[in-house]
Amino acid sequence: MNYEELLELRQGENPRGVNTPIGTLARRQVDGQWRYELRLDSQFTEDSLFISALEQDEAATRLVNRPEQAKFSVERDSAGPYALLLPKGNYTTLEQYISEQPMALARKGYVEDTLQRLATLCDAVAKQGLHLVSMHPSLLLVRRKEGEVLALLHGSLYMGQGETTELMFGNIRDSIAPEVLGGSEPNDASDTYAMAWLAQWLYQSAEAPLGARAVLKKGLAIQPDKRPATPQTFVDNIRRRNGAAKQGLLLLAATLIAAAIVGFYFEMLPETEVVEFVKPNPVDSMAWVLEDTIFIPDDNLQPGQDTMDALMTPQERALMKRYEKKAEEIFRKRYAKAADPILSSIYNDKSMASDQERFAATSLAGAERLDQLQKDLANEVGITDVRGQKLASDIIQEITKKKLEGLKGRASGATPGKEK
């Protein structure tokens, strides 16, 4: 084993490269620098239809100004194109990345962020008349350091070419929408299918959000008009279902706690008389969580009404509002207490007297801490991230105003809160 092979091994990379449906991803020296290239298998370099589509894809890729799009340039020798040269960076396929680092799937929000990146890219390439067609993890790239996914090729340019299409997608055809395999033109709905297939693949090893299975089932529908219209709609549905499920579980937990407290209270009271209660109609408080067996189409919802709200009784809605109010009160109190010292580190005599660059750095670091604090507390007390951001913003403005008034008062020689 030479030094280069040893270095590759220590970095957790395979010196022989990573296999993809069209070739091998590996590193080589280009002008004295190590670069990644995807060396095409011989059957592709000899296929004129594939090479023609690849050259179109190279040009199209440069028109997509998105960080989720992996740029490449076709490398040629005397025999013609033989590889795709990638920009500087450390790359692997998503399939290999998850194989090497399965714990990445356990990182909070990794799967949803991956799907969102691809949904954003799908929207951008659709404006260029392109579609990914397949989001198989062997065709998607990942920057090792950041773990961010990138799409390389636009499958719509390679469809309808007979043996070329079969050669390229034959082993991963299950990741492609049935109608596209049948000869139909790729569209947003077919990319939704491809994304749902990828999400299902990722959730096989990761913990799927509550309610995700029903959204996956809809995304993988055989009939295109039964799927979410776009990949972005698909991602939004997963997030909305997950948010509704989390709030519903909070409601159920709060209801059980409240029932236990009320039950304990009545147990402590002396028995006076038997009270006859009228048993209400049974309500399955967990029915909306059982997405595997119960699915309410989004089309049945009233404007402004989410899935959980549609399945709650008026009494449950009122109870939910009370607990939401209590959760927000807890959030305000805890956030204000934790945010005060962070803002004090920004708005003080020493910091305000420093140069602009240092103050900007201090402010940025403080803003990042405040943002993470808001996310952690919102998740902990059970309010939505959007609502947490609004509450946090109001609290920060209020505390900042007081800090600045105090600094202004000291600068003018007055005691904060008193007139000179």
Query: Could you please report the per-residue DSSP string of 104-149?
Result: GGGSTTHHHHHHHHHHHHHHHHHTTT-------TTTEEEETTTTEE
The chain-wide mean pLDDT, for the chain, equals 79
Each residue's pLDDT tens digit, 361-401: 777 788 888 989 988 888 888 888 788 888 988 999 899 88
Residue 153: the pLDDT is: 96
pLDDT band at 29 (very low <50, low <70, confident <90, very high): confident
Length of the chain, in residues: 420
Contact (CB, 8 A) for 128 and 157: no
Classify domain 3-235 at the CATH superfamily level. Answer: Transferase(Phosphotransferase) domain 1 (1.10.510.10)
Residue 345 pLDDT level (bands cut at 50, 70, 90) = confident
Q: What is the pLDDT of residues 180-202, one digit of tens each?
A: 999 999 999 999 999 999 999 99
Whether 353 shows a pLDDT value over 60: the answer reads yes
| Predicted local confidence at residue 316, as pLDDT | 65
Range from 166-175, 341-350, 408-417 carrying the lowest mean pLDDT? 408-417
Every domain of the chain and the residues it spans: 3-235, 316-411
**pLDDT above 70 coverage of the chain, percent:** 73
pLDDT at 357: 67
- The CA distance from 160 to 163, in Å, is 9
Q: Give the chain's radius of gyration (CA, Å).
A: 28
The neighbouring-strand residues paired with 149 are: 142
Position 67 pLDDT exceeds 50: yes
Please state, in angstroms and as integers, the Cα–Cα distance from residue 128 to each residue in 124, 179, 181, 184, 201, following that order. Answer: 7, 21, 22, 19, 28
- Reported as a pLDDT band with limits 50, 70 and 90, residue 299 is very low
pLDDT digits (tens, 9 = 90+) for 208-256: 666 688 899 999 999 999 999 999 999 999 888 755 444 444 444 444 4
